[in-house]
């Protein structure tokens, strides 16, 4: 293991020991990581989670709430002062007052909930409390963890080889054309390095905008630079025809140095300060977008999810591991936007997600961690209906499509409701990977959030959901028992 990686892990262990000691001696704490790939609904999930815990709704599958044992939950100051606070109030207002989806996650954020509850009974009956720390971060950052153990040469070859996949040739053409004119052994040239990096970032942006937006190619911060925009650590790119040894004063040497700086200054601090401290993890996945894009996008998604699990520090926790090397002992994969399908296809969506992560699940469970899957809608934007056309009937969903959404020959204005027949997933999940669903044949318009009115006392309305309560039970239910 590289020395800097060892130091990062050692630093994580020291911090984890201090936190875990506090948990055992003073206040029980659970740290939950929330992530997902592009447009998977991370912000909506986190907002809905806070909403239902704070309002103590009676969620059928979330035992503490359904049994009336959830006494109170409130937002309190978070433990990490150097991490932005998750703007719950802003996102909740967007959903309920403006009926628009909150802006996407493009940086790490955090919040802490102080939860008071009654224990389920037995020898530990009586009041209990739990500090729930939730860390919300882009999934692209998670995939960056695989770079820690890679060399610049290996990363370059892997990334360039990825351009040969189906559907990528046209998007990669401008960048590859520039690569052919670059001499890796040529003299160090700062403007040339910047142009190469810009061309590579344009390729990454095209990937995200294309049908493979469900997956990603690292580095993740290239499209979410934040305060690092323009810095040398984000100004590099893969090079082709690399020599065995990269001279420090060559173009390749400059790229290698910046690649290593990216790992040391960006990736490893995230691993050390945030990621390795996670006790539970949920990974949100837009499976429907991949289904609609075709088998190639599904294969890309399967590979990306496998990379996610390989990056996770998972396994069964013992007293010593909790103190010195904590692991994520539960991981939940959630297929989002289940409300875009009729409920008769929800089990099929869950089965498809389970197929995509089946290989990784076996490896994870062998390490002693629990892995689950669920098809959910953190905020349900539709309701179910049946559409009759002559003697035929179709199971459909009804909602308000966003302005500009197009289904067939109809363009929606963002105000009118519509019944949409989205199509059905095959009963056998393998059939989707085999091309049983024609790309573009399903109808998944973006719906506006539901109309939610305050009650007679002015309290916030209840955001409808599908199986969010089941996800909450898997992730934190046992710690509120």
| pLDDT recorded at residue 106 | 79
What pLDDT tens digit does each residue of the chain (481 aa) get? Answer: 444 454 444 455 555 555 544 444 578 999 999 998 778 999 999 999 999 999 998 899 999 999 999 999 999 999 999 999 999 999 999 999 999 999 887 789 999 999 999 998 777 789 999 999 999 998 888 888 889 889 999 999 999 999 988 778 899 999 999 999 999 999 999 999 999 999 999 999 998 887 555 556 889 899 888 778 889 999 999 999 999 999 999 999 999 999 999 999 999 998 888 878 899 999 999 999 989 888 888 888 888 888 777 777 665 555 444 444 457 899 999 999 999 999 999 999 999 999 999 977 877 677 778 889 999 999 999 999 998 888 888 899 999 999 999 988 899 999 999 999 999 999 999 999 898 998 888 889 999 999 998 877 777 788 999 999 999 999 999 999 9
Q: What is the total residue count of the chain?
A: 481
| pLDDT recorded at residue 319 | 45
| pLDDT recorded at residue 216 | 66
| pLDDT recorded at residue 110 | 96
* C-beta of residue 402 within 8 angstroms of C-beta of residue 448: yes
Return the number of other C-beta atoms located less than 10 Å from residue 14's C-beta. 11
Give the pair of three-digit tokens for residue 98.
């403006």
CA distances for 275 relative to 32, 107, 143, 149, angstroms? 10, 14, 12, 16
What's the pTM value of the predicted model, to 2 decimals?
A: 0.88
Give the pair of three-digit tokens for residue 246.
């990269």
| pLDDT recorded at residue 326 | 56
* C-beta of residue 265 within 8 angstroms of C-beta of residue 219: no
- DSSP assignment string, 398-460: EE-BPTT-EETTEE--SSS-EEE------SSTHHHHTT-SPTT-S--PPBPPPP----TT-PP
DSSP class of 104: P
Domain boundaries, the chain: 3-137+274-380+467-480, 143-269
Give CA–CA dist 106/188, Å, rounded.
33
Just give the CATH number of 3-137+274-380+467-480. Answer: 3.40.50.300
Is the peptide bond preceding residue 219 cis, with omega within 30 degrees of 0?
yes
DSSP class of 231: -
Give CA–CA dist 270/396, Å, rounded.
43
User: Which residue from 332, 256, 254 is spatially nearest to 33, judged by alpha carbons?
Assistant: 332
| pLDDT recorded at residue 48 | 97
| pLDDT recorded at residue 142 | 81
Give CA–CA dist 137/141, Å, rounded.
7
| pLDDT recorded at residue 21 | 47
Give CA–CA dist 399/437, Å, rounded.
24
| pLDDT recorded at residue 67 | 94
| pLDDT recorded at residue 1 | 44
User: Which residue from 480, 338, 407 is spatially nearest to 44, judged by alpha carbons?
Assistant: 338
| pLDDT recorded at residue 211 | 59
| pLDDT recorded at residue 6 | 45
| pLDDT recorded at residue 240 | 96
């Amino acid at each position: 293991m590289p020395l800097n990686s060892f130091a990062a892990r050692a630093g994580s262990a020291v911090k984890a020991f201090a936190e875990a000691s506090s948990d055992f001696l003073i206040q029980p704490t659970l740290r939950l990581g929330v992530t997902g790939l592009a447009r998977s609904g991370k912000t909506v999930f986190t907002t809905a989670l806070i909403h239902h815990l704070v309002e103590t709704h009676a969620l059928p599958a979330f035992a503490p709430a359904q049994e009336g044992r959830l006494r109170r939950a409130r937002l309190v100051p978070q433990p990490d002062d150097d991490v932005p606070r998750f703007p719950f109030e802003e996102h909740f207002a967007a959903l309920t007052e403006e009926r628009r989806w909150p802006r996407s996650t493009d940086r790490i954020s955090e919040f802490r909930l102080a939860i008071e509850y009654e224990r389920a009974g037995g020898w530990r009956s009586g009041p209990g409390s739990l500090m729930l720390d939730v860390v919300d971060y882009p999934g692209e950052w998670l995939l960056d963890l695989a770079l820690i153990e890679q060399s610049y040469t290996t990363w370059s070859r892997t990334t360039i080889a990825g351009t040969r996949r189906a559907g990528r040739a046209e998007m990669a053409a401008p960048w590859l054309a520039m690569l052919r004119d670059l001499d890796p052994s040529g003299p160090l040239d700062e403007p040339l390095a910047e142009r190469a990096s810009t061309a590579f970032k344009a390729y990454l942006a095209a990937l995200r905008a294309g049908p493979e937006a469900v997956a990603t190619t690292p580095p993740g911060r290239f499209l979410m630079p934040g305060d690092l925009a323009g810095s040398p650590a984000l100004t590099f790119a893969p090079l082709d025809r690399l020599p065995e040894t990269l001279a420090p004063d060559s173009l390749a040497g400059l790229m290698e140095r910046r690649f290593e700086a990216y790992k040391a200054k960006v990736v490893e601090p995230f691993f050390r300060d945030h990621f390795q401290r996670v006790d539970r993890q949920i990974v949100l996945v837009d499976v429907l977008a991949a289904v609609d894009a075709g088998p190639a996008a599904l294969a890309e998604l399967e590979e990306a999810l496998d990379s996610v699990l390989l990056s996770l520090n998972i396994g069964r926790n013992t007293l010593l591991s909790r103190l010195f090397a904590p692991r994520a002992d539960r991981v939940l994969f959630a297929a989002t936007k289940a409300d875009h399908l009729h409920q008769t296809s929800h089990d099929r969506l869950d089965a498809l997600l389970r197929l995509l992560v089946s290989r990784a699940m076996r490896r994870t469970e062998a390490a002693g961690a629990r892995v689950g899957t669920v098809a959910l809608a953190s905020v349900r934007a539709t309701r179910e209906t049946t559409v009759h056309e002559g003697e035929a009937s179709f199971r459909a969903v009804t909602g308000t499509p966003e302005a500009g959404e197009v289904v067939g020959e109809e363009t929606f204005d963002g105000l009118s409701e519509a019944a949409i027949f989205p199509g059905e997933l095959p009963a056998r999940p393998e059939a989707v990977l085999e091309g049983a669903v024609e790309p573009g044949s399903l109808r998944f318009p973006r719906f506006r959030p539901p109309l939610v009115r305050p009650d007679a006392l002015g309290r916030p309305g209840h955001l409808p959901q599908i199986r969010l309560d089941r996800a909450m039970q898997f992730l934190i239910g046992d710690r509120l028992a």
